[in-house]
């Protein structure tokens, strides 16, 4: 890994650590209603032009290595964690992004004003029963991760933003409760080959 990439990872880690104190005005709780409220609050802050507050709440969802490890089985190798580090360097914006840029990250297409939250445990994802929430709402890559690296007994969420009256929208993948607040793994299956 190049020194520039490592520097970006450390900047992101420092950014995430500092967010705990800045996000204090939002009451984080381990419930699907709270996760929905978090996304709605980010959207409302954007709409009102309160980009600083929206940015703080958006950053609170960003993963770092410590938080990611909480969602994984104990035997996940350093090679897998390094691949994820490289993936996050590619997909996450630089720590130098403006507040407005961070705020808008989760709020593209403001007409998608309806927030839906879908949840399943690791075991439910592995079973992927026909007609279940997993079958309807979780991507195949999430199921693949449940079978290979996600920790048993955990609950993961897909948050969907859609236009009123529409059935499908844009999804934010594999969000989980880290013990203090919400963390979004994202589409981590893209970091690994199909046969992983």
Can you tell me the mean pLDDT for 147-172?
A: 95
Contacts of 90 (CB under 8 A, 6+ apart): none
Strand ranges of the sheet holding 155-162, from the earlier edge strand across to the other edge: 114-121, 155-162, 170-177, 182-184
Of residues 92, 90, 89, the one with CA closest to residue 101: 92
Write the DSSP string, 63-88: --HHHHHHTB-TT--HHHHHHHHHHH
- Over 60: is that where the pLDDT of 83 sits? yes
Residue 133: its pLDDT value, please?
A: 95
The pTM of the whole model exceeds 0.75: yes
Task: Compute φ and ψ for 192, nearest 5 degrees.
Answer: -125, 155
With cut-offs at 50, 70 and 90, classify the pLDDT of residue 25: confident
How large a percentage of the chain has pLDDT more than 70? 84
pLDDT tens track for 2-15: 555 545 554 454 44
Domain extents in the chain: 3-191
- Over 80: is that where the pLDDT of 196 sits? no
Can you tell me the mean pLDDT for 21-40?
A: 86
Residue 5: its pLDDT value, please?
A: 53
Contacts of 83 (CB under 8 A, 6+ apart): 191, 192
Question: How deeply is 75 buried, as exposed, middle or buried, from its count of CB atoms within 10 A (0-12, 13-18, 19+)?
Answer: exposed
Residue 195: its pLDDT value, please?
A: 65
């Amino acid at each position: 890994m190049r020194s520039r990439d490592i520097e970006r990872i450390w900047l992101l880690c420092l950014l995430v650590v500092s967010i705990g104190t800045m996000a204090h005005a939002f009451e984080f709780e381990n419930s699907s209603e709270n996760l929905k409220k978090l996304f709605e609050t980010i959207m409302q802050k954007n709409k009102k032009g309160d980009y600083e507050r929206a940015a703080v709440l958006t950053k609170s969802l960003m993963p770092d290595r410590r938080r990611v490890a909480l969602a994984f089985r104990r035997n996940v190798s350093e090679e897998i964690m390094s691949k994820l580090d490289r993936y996050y360097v590619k997909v996450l914006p630089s720590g130098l992004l403006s507040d407005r840029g961070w705020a808008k990250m989760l709020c593209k297409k403001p007409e998608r004003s309806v927030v839906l939250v879908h949840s399943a445990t690791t075991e439910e994802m592995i079973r992927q029963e026909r007609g279940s929430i997993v079958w309807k709402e979780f991507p195949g890559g999430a199921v693949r991760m449940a079978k290979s690296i996600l920790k048993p007994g955990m609950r993961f969420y897909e948050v969907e933003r859609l236009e009123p009256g529409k059935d499908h929208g844009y999804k934010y993948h594999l969000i989980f409760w880290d013990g203090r607040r919400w963390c979004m793994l994202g589409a981590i299956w893209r970091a690994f080959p199909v046969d992983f």
